[in-house]
Structure formats: structure tokens, C-alpha cells
Chains A and B, each alone.
Chain A
Amino acid sequence: QSVLTQPPSVSGAPGQRVTISCTGSDSNIGAGHDVHWYQHFPGTAPKLLIHGDTNRPSGVPDRFSGSKSGTSASLAITGLQAEDEADYYCQSYDISLSGSDVVFGGGTKLTVV
């Protein structure tokens, strides 16, 4: 059971817009900690897609955007393309008495139908 909750799968047609949610709690996203998003093609290294809730690294198309509100964050992909079919993970930090741990969502498989 992941600390951050994502839908197992989402799908959309080429050109459409899809969103992937990432729900946490007051000890992670709700505490104001950064949310980062990664795109992962199985068998390869994950790729940083969004950092610091809303920021795109150089080279990431502006079709990808991130947002955050309260204890949740979202990744939106507009103008869906076949090459976007991949697994997407959100990541944040969870605070406990012993310190801060990295936490991932369970991942969402995006299918472009």
C-alpha cells in the first residue's frame, strides 16, 4: 500500500487531455512538501517530468503540467500522443518523528487508445 494514492490506470485518445491524481495526507503533500512526477517506460530509467509541483525541466514539452492543492496533486497531459503511453509516478516526502522519507505513488499506467 503506497503512501501516495494514484489511479492504477487512465486512458485517452490521441489529442485528448488526461489527468492523473496523486492523493496524500497532512504528513506529506498536505504539509507543503514538493511533489515531483516521473515518466517511466518499463526496462528503462524513470525520467523527471515535473519538479516542485509545477515546474518542467528543460526539454519536457509544455503538454505536461502539474498542480497541487491541499493534500493532492495532479499531472495533466494535453494533446495526448501515442508516445505518452507509459507509467507515471508521483513522489513527495513524508515527515515522521525520525525525519523525512521519500514516498512514491503506486503508479498510473497511461494507455493511448
Chain B
Amino acid sequence: QVQLAQSGAEVKKPGASVKVSCKASGYSLTDYYLHWVRQAPGQGLEWMGWINPSSGGTRYAQKFKGRVTMTRDTSMNTATMELSGLRSNDTAMFFCARKTAGRGFDYWGQGTLVIVS
């Protein structure tokens, strides 16, 4: 069955970078766009951007442009999101989510908690 398995929790210092990985199983990563969404404590869901794993093309939310980089390794069926210049208000749960055309985000990773302190 389709699963997205994310890497484990991270604790980072302000100014550092963090990489969160998302390994797809049960389907080929290149068949669907992969998005990243974050949720800060007490806040709602916030879209960060997407990667087209087939081409490597990306689109980032304006808020994160210049700080976020989304990549993929098709041989590992894995996508990675890197966020740099971390600040305390970047403390959040980060989710990867598969998007199926016309169906929204039908599969989500379990989430990765990133604490900046």
C-alpha cells in the first residue's frame, strides 16, 4: 500500500539548516507531485511548495523562497526538503504529502518535528 515515511525529529540551533526526507513506498515517486506542508504549534496548515519528482521542477510559496530547497532522489524513491536560516518560529511539524490531480493530498507522511532552539 502507499506510504510516505519521513525522517525523525530534529533539534537545530537558530541559523542552522534542516533536511527532512520523505520516502515513498507502494508507488513510484515520479508519478505524482510531492508537496510539503508545515504546522507550527497552535497554528494551521501552511503550504511550503512542491516538487515534480519526474522533472525535478519546483514551486515554492513566496514566504519560503530563498530559504527552502526541495529535491528528489528517484533511485531511492525519496524526496527531501531543506530549510535554511532557521529561526525559533520555524519550530513546527513538517509533512510531505502526495497530490493526485483532482483529489488533493491523498497520502501524507507521519510528520517530522523540527525544534529550533
- Interface of A with B (CB < 8 Å)? 2, 34, 36, 38, 40, 43-48, 51-52, 55, 57, 87, 89, 91, 99, 101-107
Mostly helix, strand, loop or mixed at chain A's interface? strand
Using Cβ atoms and an 8 Å threshold, which residues of chain B touch A2?
44
- Nearest to B104 among chain A residues (CB) is A36
Give the complex CA separation of A102 and B108 in angstroms.
15
- Interface of B with A (CB < 8 Å)? 35, 37, 44-47, 50, 59, 61-62, 93, 95, 97, 102-106, 108-111
Q: List 15 A-B contacts (CB under 8 A).
A: A36-B105, A44-B110, A45-B111, A46-B37, A46-B97, A46-B108, A48-B103, A51-B106, A52-B103, A55-B103, A89-B44, A89-B45, A99-B59, A101-B47, A102-B61
Using Cβ atoms and an 8 Å threshold, which residues of chain A touch B37?
46, 104
Using Cβ atoms and an 8 Å threshold, which residues of chain B touch A91?
45, 104-105
Contact B106 A57 (CB under 8 A): yes
Give the complex CA separation of A34 and B111 in angstroms.
25
Q: Which of A38, A87, A107 contacts B105 (CB 8 A)?
A: A38
Give the complex CA separation of A104 and B38 in angstroms.
11
